[in-house]
């Protein structure tokens, strides 16, 4: 375990949750991105967290990979749309705003929780540095 | 009181202070297009200096090779913030070690 290891471990959590927030904001901003029916729909991105295990006992978490949402999306009838096909359909991404918002709350709380760990660990280490004074 | 100890603690304090300045520089440039984060390393140079019988070692500044964002910048804000916390704690620890060294001098003067 390196010196002040708890801060490093909580830091890996902060990074994963920030990337999760980045992915969610990308999904929400593309929720109305239409594509022609001949192309794949915008695919939502889902961050897959993975535990880090190392022999020296340093744990943590990392982004293990990205899972993609449906490429088929859903067909929406919108004949006025410039990308609409001959039947009047466009391909919209299959993203549920309610699901994205709840995930955003989870990601935000996870980010805050990891930063709280950093704060507490810093206090604990500071107390350890003062150990034996006076 | 060993000269090597004081010199080694002095080198560590210098390296840590430089690291904090570089972190401040990186955070200040978080939105500068094309800016590459800088990293300070002094630990391995200091370790070999101590095993070689001196405590004096310099720090080197290297440019981060992490992947960049679309604007060519690769500063990672949470990494820099956490590194700042870690460096602050290490600095306190080194100050404490220096304080203990001078405590020995104080004790010996008092005894005399």
pLDDT tens per residue, range A44-88: 999 999 999 887 777 899 999 999 999 999 999 999 999 999 999
Of A5, A14, A7, nearest to A114 by C-alpha is A14
* Region B92-101 average pLDDT: 93
Question: Is B79 within 8 Å of A122 when comparing Cβ atoms?
Answer: no
Residue A85 distance to chain B (closest CA, Å): 33
Q: Is the ipTM of this complex over 0.95?
A: no
DSSP B68-99: P-TTS----HHHHHHHHHHHHHHHHHHHHHHH
Q: What's the mean per-residue pLDDT of chain A?
A: 92
CB proximity under 8 Å: A 76-115 to B: none
Judge whether B112 and A44 are in contact, CB under 8 Å. Answer: no
What stretch of H or E contains A91? strand A89-92
Tell me the three state secondary structure of residue A38: coil
Report which of residues A3 and A108 the model is more confident about.
A108
* Region A76-101 average pLDDT: 94
pLDDT confidence of residue A131:
86
pLDDT confidence of residue A2:
80
Judge whether B73 and B35 are in contact, CB under 8 Å. Answer: yes
B82 at A interface, C-beta within 8 A: yes
pLDDT confidence of residue A132:
77
How far, in Å, CA of A70 to CA of B26, rounded? 39
pLDDT band of B3, cuts 50, 70, 90? confident
B84 at A interface, C-beta within 8 A: no
Tokens 């995930």 sit on residue: A103
Burial class (CB in 10 A: 0-12, 13-18, 19+), A81: middle
Question: Is A15 within 8 Å of B85 when comparing Cβ atoms?
Answer: no
Q: What's the mean per-residue pLDDT of chain B?
A: 92
Judge whether A67 and A27 are in contact, CB under 8 Å. Answer: no
Compute how many other C-beta atoms are within 10 angstroms of the C-beta atom of residue A83. 14
How far, in Å, CA of A100 to CA of A27, rounded? 8
* Region B84-88 average pLDDT: 94
Q: Is the predicted pLDDT of residue B1 greater than 60, yes or no?
A: no
Q: Is the predicted pLDDT of residue A21 greater than 60, yes or no?
A: yes
């Amino acid at each position: 375990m390196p010196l002040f290891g708890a801060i490093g471990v909580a830091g890996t959590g902060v990074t994963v949750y920030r990337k999760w927030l980045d992915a969610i904001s990308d999904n929400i901003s593309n929720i109305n991105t239409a594509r022609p029916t001949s192309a794949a729909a915008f695919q939502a991105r889902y961050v897959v967290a993975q535990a880090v295990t190392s022999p020296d006992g340093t744990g943590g978490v990392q982004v293990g990979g990205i899972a993609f949402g449906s490429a088929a999306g859903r067909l929406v009838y919108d004949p006025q749309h410039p990308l609409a096909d001959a039947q009047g359909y466009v391909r919209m991404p299959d993203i549920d705003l309610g699901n994205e918002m709840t995930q955003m709350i989870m990601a935000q709380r996870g980010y805050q929780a990891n930063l709280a760990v950093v704060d507490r660990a810093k206090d604990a280490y500071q107390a350890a540095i003062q150990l034996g004074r006076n | 009181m060993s000269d090597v100890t004081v010199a080694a603690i002095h080198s560590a304090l210098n390296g840590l202070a430089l690291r904090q300045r570089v972190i401040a520089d990186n955070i200040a440039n978080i939105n500068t297009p094309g800016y590459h984060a800088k990293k300070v390393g002094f630990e391995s140079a200091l370790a070999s200096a101590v095993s070689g019988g001196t405590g004096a070692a310099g720090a080197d500044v290297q440019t981060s090779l992490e992947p960049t964002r679309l604007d060519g910048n690769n500063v990672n804000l949470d990494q820099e913030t956490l590194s700042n916390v870690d460096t602050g704690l290490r600095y306190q620890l080194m100050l404490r070690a220096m304080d203990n060294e001078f405590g020995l001098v104080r004790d010996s003067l008092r005894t005399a």
